[in-house]
């Protein structure tokens, strides 16, 4: 099969998300679709996979114009998409999820489906037990299931949206091997949407780069990362570097001693850590490896089973979130509007909540402070706007504006989730400014680049086990990728338990 | 087993039947992600309508149909208010539960105390003669038999058929359902209305059989709320819903047995038992107490029991879905 | 500003349409049972606000209804469906009855004592529902419904046994010192209570707008998880909302028994449920409560005359009110749908999040 996009346009209000896109994807090719967030690559892929209709333009398959609406119809035409958060049903088992949508008659043939499923999983070496509920699978396993499902539906072109976020190096290797085999043996078209250049370099035969809704470049691989960056941004940007600071003399701001925590499934035992003023500690790990729970514990949102936590020499044994906050710990959760901001409240109301604890609210003062912060953080929005009227990047700015000027400790779970490169860089600029005045920072992220770029020390969580990376300046994304998958021996230099 | 016990048990089955039908209806609705909170009012209005129509036409089936129509219509309002008008399901459902009860009182006032037709007992030949089980389960009227069919049928539908799988998916993750070609909102309409019609049928089962006729103080008042609680207690699973309904009916039968006996206990206070049981079961289900209790058991038994007692609501319950 | 005016105008127009439609719909229902709609509405009007000498009867409904509705506005603001308000009224009535019957004190002492006891009783009953929700994960709708039933059963039990006034339908009548004094022979309602309720309404409007507590209620109601992270003690906030509603409901319940001079089931007279309709109608605007409650009270009192003339009862008024609230809710949806402005440039339009019902978000500390 080959696919041709002809003159695709898509507008959202005044935003021209896709502007005259013309692309050709040949049989068996693995194509990287590159571009910043907001460059229009997601929109284009949604159009191709049927989730959104194009305003103008045509899709041709094998030299014939085709017209379809809805993802199911796209699959019928041989085009399937694997979302970053795979669109499966958590309460279903692997088998049910595999069967659902296959139009296998009123009463599906479970045995037949199980056989088909196992054929595919065996082919790629995926380990998927048909009777496991989806809720108990890792992201990588859910991706594997989705790939197998799309294959069983006869898909000839597969779109993958940021598939390597949140999976380990081994899982990535397995995924890439499978994709290569599909391209080579089955003539599958693979479209890899990613902002991770090393993945594109490792896997793709060719790349197409979008910027501002237009195709700004196409080329055959191989290419160097620097060449790709130049194509994406129009200029070469320097990687962030951090001046070497000696933190050993800085005073400890947060210390955990022999902390053990657990929830129903997972426990982290006997974890100790000392965070010093001006230090940035990164937590690496796959989803549900214990790092989220540990960060919540550091903010008083999770009760510890045993051990001690001290903030600034103040013991916080049976304390809740508010005691931690009073001691100087600020916590930011991964979801901005789910945990952090309140849809339905205006910016001023948010400010009134955090500004002081007086019984009577000084609305004038809250308004003035918010106006000042809007200026300072360059928020595009008014103090009287409800928070949900702002874009994601601006919401993140508001969240920053609400955080105390000099918190003693900041704990951030995935601080740049869903942000484009510019916004993410802005956030880190703010965080580093605070670090420079002595705030200690602990953050977790599925983005290994981010961890390597900003951390002074990194702790890797794997199934509740914690290991410290001995020398952060020597480590790299690949090594971390192995470690979060539990393969410490592959990490190039020796590691010791923290 | 003596006759008193048999009567008691068969009474439980009979008394539980409208609860089973209503709770299965609500299970069907909630499995699709919609909450029909109007149950209490719907049942009352449907019961009144069913009785009056059957009385006026002297055809029981017309009464039953009218009751189902009423239940379906109320459910349709909730679905449309949610899907088309984006209004809160809880708010609309709650207004409707009050409104329906008031309307029933208002429209039914001329028929209070009238004697109307009733659904006849039809023992199932052969099965009714089976010792013990026969008299308990198969010596009833068709609403009771229908409740068995509904429980088993709903289970089979939800867990064994393709459209049933799609049904669960729209309540769990409508985005995924949409991606697989299921028309989410159309199905939500369908299952909400079907669920509502069963709620209406439950109303008819009261006024045309179990608590015959219509009175100023509708005797089924409160049962809609109990049915809603049973759905939660039942973990949105038909078999457990059945169990829950029998448990409540059992308690009621027991308390009325105590009332008839010589045991010295203030009768009125016994009426509080179902409500206290409702709170207790919800506490057990909601707070994880049940989970903690299962921990004393050995591993494999624990896992099986836990799987049975799992009571996560459909993940998308009460949320709205808009394609794109 | 232009669009603001248009917004207000369309809101008004749709509310008016909803009122007219509900009158028409109720008329159709009245016709269905062979009565004259015009006559029914005429009786409703004349039986209440149509004649000044009947206003005391209207206020008799207005006092408890306003109190209960104000309490509900507080809990609704905190995102809590406090269906248990009816039971909280009932328990308030029971507590007040206890004082009125058994505390041998003069009126100027006994009445305040009874009111205070009722507030405590209502608050306790409300906090029970609150703790069931925040600590034990029982949704307040179900907790409320069950506690309503239990409170009703308790009343029946007391009236039928311990506090029986000879028959099983009510307690013995209270002594003079246990009753709220009438203002005059023509105006049987206590003016003091009208003043107190008005003051409470004003105070609540001020508290909700100008205090941290009011903002914390709103924050907890919109998103308890975020509110917690922004420093709001969400569990405490939820419990104070329950307690305030319980206090007001208890007061409402006590008014009914102290005015009537006996405890007679149903002690709340269904006013708690009516309050839910009022609260749904006004949304979070506490200022509107006294006015909407007045209109509803007029309907309720007017309908007491229907029994004499049309052989109908309060269910007509309640049906009309229910239809009205339903249509107002639906029409606001129709309005947004019709006037749906195009999304702000580049930004997706955000719909208000529907309230999770049985899916309890683990939002409390």
- Tally Cβ neighbours within 10 Å of residue C4: 8
Q: Which of B275, B313, B315 is best to mutate for the C interface (most C CBs within 10 A)?
A: B275
Q: Which residue among A87, A88, A107 places its CB closest to the CB of B161?
A: A107
Using the CB atoms, write b or e for B121-147: b if 16+ within 10 Å.
eeebeeebeeeeebbbbbbbbbbbbbb
C352 touches chain A (CB under 8 A): yes
User: Which residues of chain B lie closer than 8 angstroms to A72, CB-CB?
Assistant: 179-181
Interface of B with A (CB under 8 A): 160-163, 165-166, 168-169, 172-173, 175-182, 312, 314-315, 324
The predicted structure's pLDDT at residue A186: 92
Q: Which H or E element spans position B174? A: helix B174-179
ipTM, two decimals, is 0.89
The predicted structure's pLDDT at residue C364: 43
The residue with greater pLDDT, C180 or C361, is: C180
The predicted structure's pLDDT at residue A175: 93
A358 contacts C343? CB cut-off 8 A: no
B250-260 pLDDT, tens digit per residue, is 988 888 777 77
Q: Which of B175, B181, B186, B323 is best to mutate for the A interface (most A CBs within 10 A)?
A: B181
C177-233 pLDDT, tens digit per residue, is 888 887 777 778 888 899 999 999 999 999 999 999 999 999 999 988 889 888 898
3-class secondary-structure state, position C57: helix
B98 contacts C273? CB cut-off 8 A: yes
A343 contacts C345? CB cut-off 8 A: no
Q: What is the pTM of this model?
A: 0.89
Q: What does the CA dihedral A273, A277, A279, A280 come to, rounded to 10 degrees?
A: 80
- Ranges of chain B with pLDDT below 70: 1, 264, 287-300, 302-303, 306-311, 324
HSE at residue A28, side-chain half, CA atoms within 13 A, is 5
Q: Which residue among A320, A325, A358 places its CB closest to the CB of C365?
A: A320
Confidence class for position C151, pLDDT limits 50, 70, 90? very high
3-class secondary-structure state, position A302: coil
Query: How big is the A-B interface in CB pairs under 8 Å?
Result: 62
- Neighbours of C, requiring at least 3 CB pairs below 8 Å, are A, B
- Tally Cβ neighbours within 10 Å of residue C284: 14
How would you write A237-250 as a 3-class SS string? Answer: CCCCCCCCCCCCCC
Cis bond upstream, residue C137 (ω within 30): no
The predicted structure's pLDDT at residue C354: 36
Residues 6+ apart with CB under 8 A from B164: B156, B157, B158
The average pLDDT across C343-363 equals 36
C215 contacts A322? CB cut-off 8 A: no
Dig out the tokens for C242 from the structure.
């329950």
How far apart, in whole angstroms, are the C-alpha atoms of residue B27 and residue B25?
Answer: 5
Judge whether residue C270 has pLDDT over 90.
Answer: no
- Ranges of chain A with pLDDT below 50: 236-237, 492-498
In angstroms, the separation between the Cα of residue B175 and the nearest Cα of chain A is 7
Query: How big is the B-C interface in CB pairs under 8 Å?
Result: 165
The predicted structure's pLDDT at residue B195: 98
The predicted structure's pLDDT at residue C353: 38
How far apart, in whole angstroms, are the C-alpha atoms of residue B276 and residue B252?
Answer: 12
DSSP code per residue over A254-294: EEEEEEEEE-SS-EEEEEEEEEETT-EEEEEESTTSSHHHH
Q: Which residue among A73, A87, A103 places its CB closest to the CB of B175?
A: A87
C228 touches chain A (CB under 8 A): yes
The predicted structure's pLDDT at residue A225: 79
A211-243 pLDDT, tens digit per residue, is 888 898 888 988 887 788 777 766 544 555 555
User: Which residues of chain C lie closer than 8 angstroms to B107, CB-CB?
Assistant: 29, 32-33
Q: Which residue among C322, C357, C360 places its CB closest to the CB of B98?
A: C322
Give the residue on B whose Cα is nearest the Cα of C128: B279
The predicted structure's pLDDT at residue C188: 80
Q: Which residues pair with A192 in a beta bridge?
A: A32, A160
The average pLDDT across C248-259 equals 95
A333 contacts C227? CB cut-off 8 A: no
Dig out the tokens for C296 from the structure.
């509803």
Q: Which of C78, C211, C223 is best to mutate for the A interface (most A CBs within 10 A)?
A: C223
Dig out the tokens for B69 from the structure.
């129509």
The predicted structure's pLDDT at residue C361: 36
How far apart, in whole angstroms, are the C-alpha atoms of residue C111 and residue C174?
Answer: 11
Give the residue on B whose Cα is nearest the Cα of A107: B161
3-class secondary-structure state, position B255: helix
How far apart, in whole angstroms, are the C-alpha atoms of residue C314 and residue A137?
Answer: 58
Q: Which residue among A12, A333, A350 places its CB closest to the CB of C346?
A: A12
The average pLDDT across C9-13 equals 81
In angstroms, the separation between the Cα of residue A11 and the nearest Cα of chain C is 9
A402 contacts C226? CB cut-off 8 A: no
Q: How far is CA C301 from the centre of its chain?
A: 16
The predicted structure's pLDDT at residue C2: 52
User: Which residues of chain C lie closer than 8 angstroms to A344, CB-CB?
Assistant: 218, 222-223, 352
Q: Which residue among A90, A103, A104 places its CB closest to the CB of B172?
A: A90
Using the CB atoms, write b or e for B191-230: b if 16+ within 10 Å.
bbbbbbbbbbbbbbbbbbbbbbbbeeebbbbbbbbbbbbb
Beta strands at A157-161 and A79-82: parallel, antiparallel or unpaired: parallel
A321 contacts C229? CB cut-off 8 A: yes
Rg (CA), chain B: 20
Judge whether residue C352 has pLDDT over 50.
Answer: no
How far apart, in whole angstroms, are the C-alpha atoms of residue A78 and residue A71?
Answer: 10
CA-closest candidate to residue A138, choices A148, A130, A128 = A128
In angstroms, the separation between the Cα of residue C158 and the nearest Cα of chain B is 10
C232 contacts A391? CB cut-off 8 A: no
C104 touches chain A (CB under 8 A): no
The sign of the torsion formed by the CA atoms of A414, A415, A420, A422 equals negative
SS3 content of chain C, % helix, strand, coil (to 5): 70, 0, 25
């Amino acid at each position: 099969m080959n696919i041709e996009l002809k003159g695709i346009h898509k507008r959202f209000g005044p935003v021209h998300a896709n502007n005259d896109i013309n692309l050709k994807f040949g049989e068996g090719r693995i194509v990287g679709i590159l571009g910043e967030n907001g460059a229009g690559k997601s929109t284009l892929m949604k159009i191709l996979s049927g989730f959104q209709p194009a305003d103008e333009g045509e899709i041709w398959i094998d030299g014939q114009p085709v017209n379809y609406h809805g993802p199911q119809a796209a699959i019928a035409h041989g085009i399937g998409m694997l979302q970053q958060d795979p669109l499966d049903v958590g309460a279903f088992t692997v088998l049910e999820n595999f069967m659902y949508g296959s139009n296998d008659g009123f009463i599906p043939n479970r045995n037949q489906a199980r056989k088909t499923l196992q054929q595919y999983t065996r082919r790629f070496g995926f380990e998927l037990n048909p009777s496991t509920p989806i809720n108990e699978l890792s992201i990588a396993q859910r991706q594997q299931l989705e790939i197998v499902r799309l294959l069983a539906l006869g898909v000839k072109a597969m779109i993958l949206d940021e598939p390597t976020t949140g999976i380990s190096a081994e899982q990535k290797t397995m995924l890439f091997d499978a994709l290569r085999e599909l391209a080579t043996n089955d003539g599958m078209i693979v479209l890899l949407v990613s902002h991770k250049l090393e993945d594109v370099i490792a896997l793709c035969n060719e790349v197409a780069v979008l910027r501002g809704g237009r195709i700004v470049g196409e080329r055959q691989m191989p290419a160097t990362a620097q060449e790709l960056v130049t194509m994406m941004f129009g200029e070469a940007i320097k990687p962030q570097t951090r001046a070497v600071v000696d933190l050993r003399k800085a005073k400890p701001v947060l210390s955990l001693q022999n902390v053990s925590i657990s929830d129903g499934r997972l426990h982290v035992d006997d974890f100790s850590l000392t965070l010093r003023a001006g230090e940035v500690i990164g937590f690496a790990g796959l989803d549900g490896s214990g790092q989220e729970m540990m960060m919540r514990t550091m903010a008083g949102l999770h009760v510890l089973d045993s051990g001690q936590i001290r903030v600034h020499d103040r013991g916080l044994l049976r304390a809740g979130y508010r005691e931690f906050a009073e001691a100087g710990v600020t916590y930011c959760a991964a979801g901005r509007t789910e945990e952090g901001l309140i849809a339905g409240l205006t910016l001023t109301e948010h400010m009134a909540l955090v500004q002081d604890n007086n019984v009577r609210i000084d609305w004038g003062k809250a308004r003035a402070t918010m106006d000042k912060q809007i200026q300072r953080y360059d928020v595009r929005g008014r103090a009287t706007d409800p928070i949900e009227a702002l874009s994601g990047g601006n919401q993140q700015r508001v969240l920053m504006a609400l955080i105390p000027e000099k918190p003693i400790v900041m704990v951030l779970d995935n601080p740049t989730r869903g942000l484009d490169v510019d916004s993410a860089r802005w956030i880190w600029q703010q965080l580093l400014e605070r670090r420079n005045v002595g705030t200690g920072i602990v953050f977790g992220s599925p983005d290994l680049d981010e961890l390597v770029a900003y951390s002074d020390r990194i702790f890797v969580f794997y199934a509740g086990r914690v290991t410290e990376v001995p020398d952060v300046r020597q480590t790299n994304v690949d090594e971390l990728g192995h470690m979060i998958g539990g393969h410490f021996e592959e990490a190039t230099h020796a590691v010791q338990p923290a | 087993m003596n006759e008193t016990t048999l009567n008691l048990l068969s009474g439980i089955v009979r008394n539980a039947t409208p609860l089973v039908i209503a709770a299965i209806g609500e299970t069907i609705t909630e499995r699709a992600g919609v909450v029909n909170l109007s149950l209490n009012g719907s049942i009352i209005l449907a019961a009144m309508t069913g009785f009056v129509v059957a009385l006026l036409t002297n055809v029981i089936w017309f009464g039953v149909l009218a009751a189902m129509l009423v239940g379906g219509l109320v459910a349709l309002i909730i679905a449309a208010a949610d899907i088309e008008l984006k209004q809160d399901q809880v708010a609309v459902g709650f207004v409707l539960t009050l409104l329906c009860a008031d309307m029933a009182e208002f429209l039914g006032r001329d028929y209070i105390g009238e004697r109307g037709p009733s659904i006849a007992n039809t023992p199932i030949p052969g099965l009714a003669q089976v010792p013990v089980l026969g008299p308990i389960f198969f010596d009833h009227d068709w609403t009771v038999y229908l409740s068995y069919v509904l429980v088993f049928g709903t289970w089979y539908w939800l867990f064994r058929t393709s459209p049933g799988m799609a049904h669960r998916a729209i309540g769990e993750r409508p985005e995924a359902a949409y991606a697989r070609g299921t028309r989410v909102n159309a199905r939500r309409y369908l299952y909400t209305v079907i669920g509502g019609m069963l709620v209406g049928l439950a109303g008819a089962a009261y006024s045309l059989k179990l608590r015959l006729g219509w009175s100023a103080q509708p005797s089924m008042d409160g049962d809609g709320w109990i049915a809603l609680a049973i759905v939660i207690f039942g973990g949105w699973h038909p078999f457990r819903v059945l169990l829950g309904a029998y448990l409540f009916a059992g308690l009621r039968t027991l308390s009325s047995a105590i009332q008839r006996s010589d045991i010295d206990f203030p009768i009125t206070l016994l009426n509080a038992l179902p409500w206290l049981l409702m709170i207790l079961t919800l506490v057990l289900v909601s707070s994880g107490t049940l989970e903690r209790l299962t921990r004393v058991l050995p591993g494999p038994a624990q896992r099986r029991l836990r799987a049975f007692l799992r009571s996560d609501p459909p993940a998308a319950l009460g949320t709205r879905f808009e394609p794109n | 500003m232009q669009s603001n005016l248009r917004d207000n105008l369309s809101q008004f127009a749709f509310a008016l349409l909803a009122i007219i439609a509900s009158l028409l719909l109720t008329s159709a229902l009245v016709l269905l049972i062979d009565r004259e709609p015009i006559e029914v509405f005429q009786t409703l009007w004349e039986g209440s606000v149509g004649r000044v000498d009947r206003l005391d009867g209207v206020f008799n409904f207005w006092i408890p209804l306003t109190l209960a509705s104000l309490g509900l506005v507080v809990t609704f603001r905190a995102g809590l469906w406090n269906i248990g308000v009816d039971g909280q009224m009932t328990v308030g009535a029971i507590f007040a009855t206890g004082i009125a019957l058994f505390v041998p004190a003069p009126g100027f002492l006994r009445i305040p004592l009874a009111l205070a006891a009722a507030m405590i009783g209502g608050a306790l009953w409300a906090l029970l529902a609150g703790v069931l929700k925040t600590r034990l994960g029982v949704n307040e709708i179900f907790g409320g419904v069950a506690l309503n039933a239990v409170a009703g059963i308790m009343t029946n039990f007391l009236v039928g046994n311990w506090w029986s006034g000879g028959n099983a339908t009510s307690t013995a009548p209270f002594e003079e010192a246990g009753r709220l004094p009438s203002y005059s022979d023509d105006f049987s309602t206590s003016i003091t209570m009208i003043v107190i309720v008005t003051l409470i309404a004003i105070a609540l409007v001020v508290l909700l707008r100008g205090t941290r507590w009011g903002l914390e209620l709103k924050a907890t109601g919109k998103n308890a998880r975020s509110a917690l992270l922004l420093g709001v003690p969400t569990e405490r906030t939820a419990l104070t909302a329950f307690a305030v509603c319980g206090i007001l409901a208890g007061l409402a319940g006590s008014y009914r028994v102290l005015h009537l001079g006996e405890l007679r089931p149903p002690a709340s007279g269904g006013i708690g449920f009516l309050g839910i309709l009022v609260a749904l109608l006004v949304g979070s605007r506490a200022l509107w409560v006294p006015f909407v409650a007045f209109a509803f009270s007029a309907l309720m009192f007017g309908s007491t005359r229907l029994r004499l003339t049309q052989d109908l009862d309060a269910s007509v008024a309640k049906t009309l009110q229910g239809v009205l609230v339903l249509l107002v809710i639906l029409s606001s949806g129709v309005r947004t749908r019709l006037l749906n402005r195009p999304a702000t440039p580049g930004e997706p339009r955000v719909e208000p999040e529907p309230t999770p019902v049985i899916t309890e978000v683990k939002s409390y500390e």
